[in-house]
Amino acid sequence: TVRVEDDRTGLDIETLKRAFLDNLFYIQGKFPEIATQNDYYMALAYTVRDRLFRRWLNTAETYSKQGARTVCYLSAEFLMGPHLGNNLINLGIFDTVKQAMTELGLDLDELFEKEEEPGLGNGGLGRLAACYLDSLASLETPSIGYGIRYEFGIFDQDIKDGWQVEVTDKWLRFGNPWEVARPEWEVEVKFGGHTQAFTDEHGNYRVLWVPDKVVRGVPYDTPISGYKVNSCNTLRLWAAEATDSFDFDAFNAGDYSGAVFKKMESETISKVLYPNDNMTQGKILRLEQQFFFVSCSLQDMFRILKRQNIAIERFHEKFTIQLNDTHPTIAVAELMRLLMDEYGMEWDKAWSIVTSTFAYTNHTLLPEALERWPISLFGSMLPRHLEIIYEINRHFLDDIRIKFPDDLDRLSRMSLIDESGERYVRMAHLACVGSHAINGVAALHTKLLKQDVLHDFAEMYPEKFVNVTNGVTPRRFVALSNPRLTRLITSKIGGNWIKHLDDLRQLEKYVDDTGFCSEFRTIKHEIKQDLSNYIKGLYDINVDPNSLFDIQSKRIHEYKRQHLNALHIVTLYNRIKANPDIDITPRTFLFGGKAAPGYYMAKLIIKLINSIADVVNRDPDVRDRLKVLFMKDYSVKFAQRVYPAADLSEQISTAGKEASGTGNMKFAMNGALTIGTLDGANVEILEEVGAENFFLFGLTAEEVSQKKAAGYNPQDFYSTDPELKLVIDRISSGFFSHGDTELFKPLIDDLMYHDQYLLFADYRSYIDCQDRVGLTYRDQDLWTRMTLLNTARTGKFSSDRSIQDYIDNIWHTKPVSIDLKE
Ligand code: DL6
């Protein structure tokens, strides 16, 4: 008998080719002769999506039948990156599909380039959410990611005359083959208006919320495959649409443009991602976005309960909800409202369900990122929620009084309402009170949270605090981004490490194997060559793959200190100018990252880097020993090229400021050495890889606080370190700005008179450490040994380990394995 594989599920090469050509014809409506690369990409995406559907539907059905306990990960951002390559890896069909495309005369890498990535996040927090979805599915954990389907994600970054220019992101322009709209599960979300108390038929006090605006939330689902398992979970993103009744009323009244305006106004809610990282802007629309997706998601959970015939009283057994930072924290009040106002539950019972359901992850210690909403704004948008928050606060303040009698200061410090001036709702406090677990994202961060920002809460609820150090998915950030390294590792220790990253430790035994080390080094060199070619194509700049690739890619922020890196470049340049024959290790300095559009200093840092690049790259004295490039429009797609090509990873934030960092992990896994401070997860990376394989410099978090307390004066360093003085003077003199002494003045004055992030205090230690880096790089055997040990010892930083920590310590969910029905 001839067995023909099903066109939509089969995985062999002939079936894949046939399915691909079918999709090109029937979905894209093209003959191969006239199809564009985008048509081919779409046809392939649909071919892969078909294969996911079988897993996805069976997964949903199994979870539903079993009523499985489910993790709901609520996040205002999911920075997913391109889906195609990742799904090929997870389905285990990467090589087959590559071969199929080659046989059809197509290049898989070119098709990858066609995918518009959903840039629905700013940086670390959103990318972490995406890594966690990958691990949740890979660990067969029932879960749903809930967020917002922003029509415009993070802006595209262009660089004009050295300055950042923002360009609108149009990721949906050519359609999104990975999502499925589920209008049948839409919900309505209320805003504004007033509340009315009444007594119900049983004589109970009840509240009715009469809104003045109602918006529809329509879910768009994306399948999230797990690595080499059948599990396929869901990312459910909500789009805002106007309710029909609005259009209708206005239309009947003859006000057509009014109706259209209302429609537009409603749809604005999911229009655009706020482009701030670690900074809150306090905009009304942002609070609307937060409430919108939270209310949609909670209503969706009630729908699921109903469909699975689970009693409302068991909400917290069915769902565990993780709040990704305070952005979704209004969920605490919304779940109270739904339980009480919609389902008639009494306060104590509802509160017990709420606090058993939520857990809160804090991602930052920076005061400017802590969300608080003016009471007036909050009350006019969410009048019922403000009442509920006042009531939660009343109970909470009573609890404080009992635990800490007669401590008025403590009451005002901890209250959910800040009453020190204009009154605000403090979202982090609401998250702490409404959750049964509170976690920081690296050991140092959790410690500092307990010591400082959430100190009172740690005293009040010591049992709630746990640490979960962040992690990253080795599927995307090694297997997909670095196929050469993946093949080499797998050839030695087998492929299990992609699922059990601790297995990388087995590589340690090759550290003295010269053949292996030389292959390891050759691979890095080839990848650097690829990046050089890419850069040549994009910028027409030659960068030498033999030079040390020194890379800092992350959001631009003063605390991350890209300008400290710039001071190092100018230091080396000055040394060359003073002595053109000086023997220095050739380096290529690469930067990538976006600045928030309203963050002037960050934008000036980008301009500074580009201005330094202009001078350094063309000065004949430099003789190509230094190259500086700001790579525009950093994205997940581009990051995947960058991590594997790095020799040195710059993780140089002021100690105590970077909650964790995750780029630091991606670089180290790919065999870059870190130059870093004892900040965030650097501390744990150093612990794992060993101090001898890490370039450590700078003040500790404790020393930073002490220095500030003692009255830090940056000029003490400026006046006593001649190299630092020369660097600052050269920048101030207009040397890098065509003689313009005003351009960088705001940045220089800030360093000279404030230097909040202690660049001057750390400068000498950084420069000396960089000198050690340069020397070490000359000993290629030693360098390779160190890089190999970095790769071998980064198993801890797999997001699988992080997710397992969440499961063991916070969520207590069980894996559910999925059978595929024929
Ligand atoms: O936890 C993910 C990521 C950390 O690795 C970074 O250190 C931290 O800066 C970032 N935090 C934010 C905070 N945004 N807000 N609010 O993005 O989280």
Give tens-digit pLDDT for 354-406. Answer: 999 999 999 999 988 899 999 999 999 999 999 999 999 999 999 999 999 99
Q: 663 alpha carbon to ligand 1 midpoint, in Å?
A: 11
* Contacts with 91 (C-beta within 8 Å, 6 or more apart), sequence order: 11, 48, 51, 52, 225
Cβ(728) – ligand 1 distance below 6 Å:
no
CB 357 within 8 A of CB 316: yes
What average pLDDT score do residues 222-236 get? 98
**pLDDT tens column, 64-123:** 999 999 999 999 999 999 999 999 999 999 999 999 999 999 999 999 999 999 999 999
E strand or H helix that includes residue 381: helix 375-381
Residue nearest to atom 6 of ligand 1 (CA): 661
Active site residue 554: yes
* Of 635, 634, 625, 628, residue with least CA distance to 609: 628
Backbone φ/ψ region at 175: left (φ over 0), alpha (ψ -120 to 50), beta: left
ipTM of the prediction: 0.98
Q: What is the rounded distance in angstroms from the CA atom of residue 500 to the CA atom of residue 502?
A: 5
| 784-816 core/surface letters (b: 16 or more CB in 10 A; e: else) | bbbbbbbbbbbbbbbbbbbbbbbbeebbebeeb
Query: Does the annotation mark 666 as catalytic?
Result: yes
Active site residue 363: yes
Tokens 């067969």 sit on residue: 140
Mean pLDDT score of the chain, rounded to an integer?
97
Whether the Cβ atoms of residue 22 and residue 46 lie closer than 8 Å to each other: no
> Which residue among 15, 662, 674, 784 is the active-site one?
662
Residue 527 CB contacts under 8 Å (≥ 6 apart), including other chains: 482, 484, 644, 645
pLDDT at 262: 77
Q: What is the DSSP letter of 579?
A: -
Give the per-residue pLDDT at 822.
62
* Same fold? 67-82+117-468, 513-804: yes
Q: In angstroms, what CA-CA distances link 608 with 603, 605, 676, 689, 751?
A: 9, 5, 22, 34, 14
Name the DSSP letter for residue 193: S
Nearest CA to ligand 1 atom 18: 125
Helix (H, G, I), strand (E, B) or coil at 101: helix
Q: Which CATH superfamily does the domain covering 513-804 fall into?
A: Glycogen Phosphorylase B; (3.40.50.2000)
- Looking at CATH, the fold of the domain delimited by 67-82+117-468 is given as Rossmann fold (3.40.50)
> Which listed residue (51, 69, 554, 801) is catalytic?
554
Q: Active-site residue 450, yes or no?
A: no
Pocket lining: 128 vs ligand 1, CB cutoff 6 Å: yes
Question: How far is Cα 354 from Cα 301, in angstroms, rounded to an integer?
Answer: 13
Lookup result for tokens 């559910």:
816
Q: With bands split at pLDDT 50, 70 and 90, how would you rate the model's confidence at 245?
A: low
- Of residues 519 and 821, more confidence is placed in 519
Contact 568, 579 (CB under 8 A): no
AA identity, residue 720: T
Give residue 683's Cα distance to chain centre: 20
Q: If you search the block for the tokens 């322009």, which residue do you land on?
A: 173
- Is-contact 392 333, C-beta < 8 A? yes
Q: At residue 162, what is the residue type?
A: G
Ligand 1, atom 11, lies closest to the CA of 363
Contact 610, 514 (CB under 8 A): no
> 70-74 and 319-324: which strand pairing?
parallel
528 assigned to active site: no
Is 256 a residue whose pLDDT tops 90? no
Query: Whole-model pTM?
Result: 0.98
Cα gap 601→297, rounded to integer Å: 37
Q: Element (H or E) spanning 214, and its range?
A: strand 213-225
* CB distance 125 to ligand 1 below 6 Å: yes
Domain map (residue ranges) of the chain = 1-66+86-106, 67-82+117-468, 513-804
| pLDDT tens string 644-688 | 999 999 999 999 999 999 999 999 999 999 999 999 999 999 999
